[in-house]
Amino acid sequence: MQSIYRLMPAELFHRCDPGQFKFTTTAELAGITGIIGQQRAVEAIDFGIKIKQEGYNLFALGSSAIAIHSVVKKRLCGKVCQQPTPDDWCYYNDFSESHKPRVLRLPPGRGRQLQTDIDRLVEELCAAIPAAFESEDYHARKQEIVDEFKKRREAAYDELYQYAREQDITIMRTPNGVVFAPMAKGEVIDPEQFMKLPEEEQHRLEAKVVEVQDRLKALIRSVPRWQSESREKIKELNREVTALAVTHPIDLLKQVYNDIPAVTGYFTELEQDILDNMAAFLLSSDTEYDESEEVLDMYSASPRAQKQLVILNRYQINLLVDNGGTQGAPVVYEDTPTYQNLLGSIEHLSHMGSLITNFHLIKAGALHAANGGYLLVDALKVLSHPFAWEGLKKALRAREVVIDNPGNIYNVVSTVSLEPEPIPLDVKVILIGSPLIYYLLCHYDPEFPELFKVAVDFNEHMDRTPENIQLYADTIASLTRKEGLRPFSRAAVARIIEHSARLAEDGERLSTHMKTITDLLREADYWACEQSHEAVDAEDVQTAINAQIRRADRLREQTLEETLRGTILIDTMGEQVGQVNGLSVITMGSYSFGRPSRITARVHLGRGEVIDIERQVAMGGPIHSKGVLILTGFLGGRYAIDLPFSLSASIVFEQSYSGIEGDSASSAELYALLSALAEAPIKQSLAVTGSVNQHGQVQPIGGVNEKIEGFFDLCNARGLTGEQGVIIPQSNVKHLMLREDVVAAVKAGLFHIYAVSTIDEGIEILTGLTAGMRDHSGKFPAGSINERVEARLALMAEARIAYEFVSK
Amino acid sequence: MSADMENEQYKNILVALDNSQHSTTALNIAAHTAVLMGMDLNGLYVEDSALLRLAELPCAREVRLPSAIDRQLDSATLAGELAIEAEKARKLFLARLQNMNLQGSFQVVRGKVSDEIVSAARQSALLCLGKAGRQLISSVRPGSTALALSESSPVPVMFIEHGASMPVAVMIFYDGSVTANNALYFAARWAQSESNNLTVIIPSDSPVRTLLIKQAAAEILRSVNVQARFSEIGDGDLSRLVNIVDKVRDPLAVVPAASRFLPPDTAAQLLSAANFPLLLFR
């Protein structure tokens, strides 16, 4: 009976025939530029790239082993070349509000040109303005103004002195001012003589003194006004002279940039500011300039050598984004998506113990660099950095980048900073992350679906069709060239395809984890080099696979060792009632291995419940608990339709000290339960995997290859008896990609793989007894497993009824 | 100094101080001159008695600068302020004396300013003072004391304007008079001690007289072994004289106060026109 379900060696491993390839090595293949096995994702990327509406940013979700970054970049690079190169972005000084730098948009490459032109302009003006002020005409006109003021002042004082003399009043200097006194005969009137004068005369003289004094006071107060008028005239003259030097070169530049009104506007502002602050240019040269009060504070403290630099800083633009060397739309990957790296930052300099800044210290972020193109960011990284996710969303929502200090929100840093004008944003952001992050964001962040409408869902595997196999070979050829590896022989390619199917856990599919495949190619090349092979052969690939396993399987080895030493109790021969060998998979990083576990069941009279001990002690996951509860449904439905289900059973994974999840052991648990109820011993030479539904159908599970190999390794270590084997779900047969040694043992009849579709099939293999089907009268055949189970449950039901009757 | 002056009993220079910028420059140049000539340096500050008398008037009011606020003036307060000024001048003078390693004394007197300076200068070989005192306006006009001393100083008097440097080039107007001879001896000695940069400017009213004057000057210069350049100006051409001096860097103009080749008010005119140190010989 067992042989019906026994699989043939050919079914255990879906071999890739090297003969199907028409090449000897991959060197003969042209390679491939496209992306294989990701048609859905590629279509989504193309859609996301083309659609221009707001919110159609992309989220590429898939395993990290798929190399999503390179796939997305590859796809983008093929498209962006045809897209227009975005503009350059600059910040420039707002001369009226220097803490609010303004933004300038220029066609690509013109930003750098403008920067160079302003460098030259400032250099030219630093020479031309002082030269204009050194002209004789300027000095003559300035002297005229100065002389005019002096003459006016002197004339006023002369007039005052003259008037005082006429009034017989003398004016004399004291240490702190000026004093007035009446005179007599050319001398200051003697005080005694003054006192002898009639009172009326004294008053008259005093009135004269007061009058002259008032005139002087009025005069003294007028002088600053005259001085101010004089200074204004000099300023006007200075502007006139400066304009002579400045207007022409700026007009020339305006002509160069007349196609960009914003730039010509900037030049107009720049010209006006130079006229207002020409003193700075004079201080930067050897020209004598005495109107120091007009000089900007920032210039006065700087050494002359730095003054030209200070001037340049005032007028030079900060070229934030230079797309001069960019072809098409930029594709930017930000590896460290902090808030500052994404949205830009305003740096500060320490100066005399203070933190100072200026618009030249505005630094671009990745959004600036990607503006007009595409920004790739790892979702997990952006979520990990404080403020980064909120900052990114804010920029996408507002469609502009505002550079500020996130610390300001919490007043962490209190420094005078800038408020740069926001830059309009036109960028497609492509987040890359795991499906888990994608679904968490969908669930918990209401803004996320609005901003990232395009899901680029990457396939974990592809169909193993002849066409795809050929494409895979082409991809291997491309990768070997890109990585500079030896060519791979057709046998090596076939072995890689077989391994790819193993990675996909499916003999009919291939893995799309190209990062993993690329690692294997590199390592196979290494081993080929060690063996001095000109081309990488299948044995090199196998050596690489074995080495990978060897590096990772320390724990598997230890577990096996402990089982062999009898520390972990697993029987591989004999029979036991209520005890079966289950199989589980342990994953350590990228390596998984199968491990047999003893599952036992005990039954007794009860109220129709199957107790999952793992669940009771909170070591079982919800899926595992669900699997156990299904058993109750199966037992009740099949054996206790008309009677009270009076079973109480307990099931446990023996020697399990960590959590158990998954339902792949539910069939094994049921076998143990049936064995316990029927008191039919189970062969311990067999192990079982597969989940079960309420109708007793065995359903597929994951990790079938690892599970089989795990039990095989144990049996092999103890010595294969020819009785040992594993029962798997029929629906898992297509997934089989077993190790060569397992297949060889099966071929030699030393090990067996059974594929079953129902619990009845499985229990027959395990017990060697007939499961039994109900006949026309609804009875199971006598002595069959089902009959024994049903009879036991009936006895329990009767016992329970009797017990309850007595209790009442 | 001239042969006559070498025999003089007094070998000191007197500098009159009033704490104005001009007098501070005068102090600096007087100190350098004292070092150059190997003389002592005496300082003088005069408390103006006219000012003190004026303060006693009931109608005397002071307008303070630069605020233009007025106040009643009283003689006690003014006397105190003058004493402070005198002390300030004394400290400045002594600091310079020490700095230049000179011998000398400082004196504070009360009286009419020009009279007191004349009186003190009688015991000095040379008088130095600022071209003007503290003025209401920044443009330099000769002060009343300077004008008075240009007429009445009993000894050679050097007028110095704020900003002047220590003279290097000596420019002397030589007319062959006794005063001019004394001045030429002084100028030659200065040139000898400083930089050997001496220019003799002679009047050119007639070729014969010009030649004679030049020969007389040459003879004096030969006697003291000093070389000089010669230049000529027309009769009474003071502006030409000022121009010649003005073109030289760091000049000292040495001029007889009264010369038959120059206008009668030469001293006053030169004081008004020149912005370089001017040494008048009388």
List pLDDT tens digits, range A318-350.
Answer: 999 999 999 899 999 999 999 999 999 998 888
Global confidence as pTM = 0.68
Model confidence band, residue A541 (pLDDT cutoffs 50, 70, 90): very high
Span of A187-196, A289-298, A480-489 with lowest mean pLDDT: A289-298
Asked if the model's pLDDT at residue A372 lies above 60, the reply is yes
Q: Averaged over B271-281, what is the pLDDT?
A: 90
Listed by number, the residues of chain A in 212-241 with a beta carbon closer than 8 Å to a beta carbon of chain B are 213, 216-217, 220-221
Tell me whether A175 touches chain B (CB under 8 Å).
yes
Say yes or no for a CB contact (<8 Å) between A173 and B55. no
Annotated active-site residue A381? The verdict is no
Q: In Å, how far are A420, A695, A772, A779 from A776, measured between CA atoms?
A: 88, 20, 13, 7
Q: How distant is the Cα of B142 from the closest Cα of chain A, in angstroms?
A: 14
The pLDDT score that the predictor gives to residue A713 is 96
Tell me whether A210 touches chain B (CB under 8 Å).
yes
Which residues, in sequence order, are bridge partners of residue A25?
A: A489
> What are the residue ranges of helices labelled H in A365-465?
366-370, 379-384, 388-398, 435-444, 448-451
Rounded to whole angstroms, the Cα distance separating A597 from A710 reads 10
Model confidence band, residue A519 (pLDDT cutoffs 50, 70, 90): very high
Q: What is the full DSSP assignment across chain B?
A: --HHHHT-S--EEEEEE-SSHHHHHHHHHHHHHHHHHT-EEEEEEEEEHHHHHHHTSTT-EEEETTTTEEEE--HHHHHHHHHHHHHHHHHHHHHHHHHTT----EEEEEE-HHHHHHHHHTTSSEEEEESS-S-SSSS----HHHHHHHHH-SS-EEEE-TTPPPP-EEEEE--SSHHHHHHHHHHHHHHHHTTS-EEEEEE-SSHHHHHHHHHHHHHHHHHTT---EEEEE-TT-HHHHHHHHHTSSSEEEEEESS-TTS-TTHHHHHHHH--S-EEEE-
Residue whose token pair is 């109608």: B59
Q: How distant is the Cα of B127 from the closest Cα of chain A, in angstroms?
A: 23
Show residues of chain B in contact with A201, CB under 8 Å: none
Say yes or no for a CB contact (<8 Å) between B81 and A178. no
Q: How distant is the Cα of B20 from the closest Cα of chain A, in angstroms?
A: 10
- What's the sign of the alpha-carbon dihedral A180, A185, A190, A193? negative
Choosing from A584, A691, A707, A784, the catalytic residue is A707
Span of A149-163, A503-517, A642-656 with lowest mean pLDDT: A642-656
Q: How distant is the Cα of A301 from the closest Cα of chain B, in angstroms?
A: 26
The pLDDT score that the predictor gives to residue A412 is 59
Say yes or no for a CB contact (<8 Å) between A194 and B139. no
Say yes or no for a CB contact (<8 Å) between A178 and B139. no
Say yes or no for a CB contact (<8 Å) between B59 and A181. yes
Cα pseudo-dihedral A45, A48, A51, A56, rounded to 10: 180
Q: Round the CA-based radius of gyration of chain A to a whole number and report it.
A: 47
Asked if the model's pLDDT at residue A216 lies above 50, the reply is yes
Give the best residue of A174, A192, A210 to mutate against chain B (max B CB count within 10 A).
A174
The pLDDT score that the predictor gives to residue A1 is 53
Q: Averaged over A387-396, what is the pLDDT?
A: 95
Annotated active-site residue A3? The verdict is no
SS3 A186: coil
Asked if the model's pLDDT at residue A297 lies above 50, the reply is no
Tell me whether A194 touches chain B (CB under 8 Å).
yes
Asked if the model's pLDDT at residue A805 lies above 50, the reply is yes
Q: In Å, how far are A349, A422, A752, A756, A768 from A748, measured between CA atoms?
A: 78, 75, 10, 22, 22
Asked if the model's pLDDT at residue A293 lies above 50, the reply is no
Asked if the model's pLDDT at residue A615 lies above 80, the reply is no
Q: Averaged over A10-27, what is the pLDDT?
A: 93
Task: Give the B-side interface with A, CB within 8 Å.
Answer: 19, 48, 50-51, 53-66, 68, 70, 73, 78, 81-82, 84-85, 133-139
Q: What is the 3-state secondary structure (H, E, C) of A101-143?
A: CEEEEECCCHHHHHHHHHHHHHHHHHHHHHHHHCCHHHHHHHH
Q: Answer with the residue of higher pLDDT: A406 or B80.
A: B80
What tens digit of pLDDT does each residue of A559-571 get? 999 999 999 999 9
Give the best residue of A159, A179, A187, A215 to mutate against chain B (max B CB count within 10 A).
A179
Q: How distant is the Cα of B82 from the closest Cα of chain A, in angstroms?
A: 7
Rounded to whole angstroms, the Cα distance separating B42 from B46 reads 13
Furthest-apart CA atoms within chain B: distance in Å: 65
Say yes or no for a CB contact (<8 Å) between A206 and B58. yes
Name residues whose C-beta falls within 8 Å of residue A605's C-beta, 6 or more positions apart in sequence: A646, A647, A648, A796, A799, A800, A803
Q: Averaged over A557-586, what is the pLDDT?
A: 94
pLDDT averaged over every residue in chain A = 89
Half-sphere exposure of A616 (CA within 13 A, CB side): 9
Q: Averaged over A608-617, what is the pLDDT?
A: 72
Model confidence band, residue A639 (pLDDT cutoffs 50, 70, 90): confident
Q: How far is CA A388 from the centre of its chain?
A: 9
Q: B4 exposed, middle or buried (CB, 10 Å; 0-12, 13-18, 19+)?
A: exposed
Asked if the model's pLDDT at residue A658 lies above 90, the reply is no
Asked if the model's pLDDT at residue A301 lies above 80, the reply is no
Choosing from A285, A592, A664, A675, the catalytic residue is A664
The pLDDT score that the predictor gives to residue A410 is 63
Asked if the model's pLDDT at residue A294 lies above 50, the reply is no
Q: Answer with the residue of higher pLDDT: A110 or B53.
A: A110
Q: Answer with the residue of higher pLDDT: A399 or A588.
A: A399
Nearest neighbour of B57 by CB, restricted to A174, A175, A189: A189
Q: Is A67 left (phi over 0), alpha (psi -120 to 50) or beta?
A: left
What tens digit of pLDDT does each residue of B169-227 get? 999 999 999 999 999 999 998 888 877 789 999 998 788 889 999 999 999 999 999 99
The pLDDT score that the predictor gives to residue A354 is 78
**A159 token code pair:** 């007039």
The pLDDT score that the predictor gives to residue B274 is 84
The pLDDT score that the predictor gives to residue A284 is 58
Contact A564, A551 (CB under 8 A): no
Nearest chain B alpha carbon to A153: B137
Nearest chain B alpha carbon to A179: B62
- A294 secondary structure, DSSP code: G
Model confidence band, residue B3 (pLDDT cutoffs 50, 70, 90): very low
The pLDDT score that the predictor gives to residue A292 is 42
The pLDDT score that the predictor gives to residue A286 is 54
Nearest chain A alpha carbon to B18: A175
The pLDDT score that the predictor gives to residue B273 is 87
Contact A122, A312 (CB under 8 A): yes
What tens digit of pLDDT does each residue of A688-735 get? 999 999 999 999 999 999 999 999 999 999 999 999 999 999 999 999
Span of A632-641, B71-80, B126-135, B241-250 with lowest mean pLDDT: A632-641
Tell me whether A183 touches chain B (CB under 8 Å).
no
Rounded to whole angstroms, the Cα distance separating B144 from A218 reads 25
Q: Answer with the residue of higher pLDDT: A285 or B157.
A: B157
- Comparing CA positions, the residue from B259, B273, B4, B27 lying closest to residue B142 is B273
The pLDDT score that the predictor gives to residue A31 is 83
Model confidence band, residue B121 (pLDDT cutoffs 50, 70, 90): very high
Nearest neighbour of B63 by CB, restricted to A153, A177, A189: A177
Asked if the model's pLDDT at residue A5 lies above 70, the reply is yes
Tell me whether A209 touches chain B (CB under 8 Å).
yes
The pLDDT score that the predictor gives to residue A302 is 54
The pLDDT score that the predictor gives to residue A250 is 95
Q: How many Cβ atoms sit within 10 Å of the Cβ of residue A444?
A: 8
Asked if the model's pLDDT at residue A303 lies above 70, the reply is no
Q: State percent of chain A over pLDDT 90.
A: 59
**A305 token code pair:** 């050598």
What tens digit of pLDDT does each residue of B193-202 get? 877 789 999 9
Residue whose token pair is 């090199």: A540
Tell me whether A157 touches chain B (CB under 8 Å).
yes
Model confidence band, residue A508 (pLDDT cutoffs 50, 70, 90): very high
Give the best residue of A154, A176, A211 to mutate against chain B (max B CB count within 10 A).
A176
Tell me whether A437 touches chain B (CB under 8 Å).
no
- Comparing CA positions, the residue from A641, A566, A636 lying closest to residue A606 is A636
- What's the sign of the alpha-carbon dihedral A725, A728, A730, A731? negative
Interface ipTM above 0.85: no
Contact A678, A770 (CB under 8 A): no
Nearest neighbour of A178 by CB, restricted to B58, B63, B82: B63
What tens digit of pLDDT does each residue of A741-785 get? 999 999 999 999 999 999 999 999 999 999 999 998 888 999 999
Tell me whether A187 touches chain B (CB under 8 Å).
yes
Asked if the model's pLDDT at residue B140 lies above 90, the reply is no
Q: Rounded to 5 degrees, what are φ and ψ at A180?
A: -120, 145
The pLDDT score that the predictor gives to residue A577 is 95
pLDDT averaged over every residue in chain B = 89
Q: Averaged over A32-50, what is the pLDDT?
A: 87
Asked if the model's pLDDT at residue B135 lies above 90, the reply is no
Nearest chain A alpha carbon to B68: A217
Nearest chain B alpha carbon to A205: B59
Q: Which amino acid is at A89?
A: W
The pLDDT score that the predictor gives to residue B5 is 45
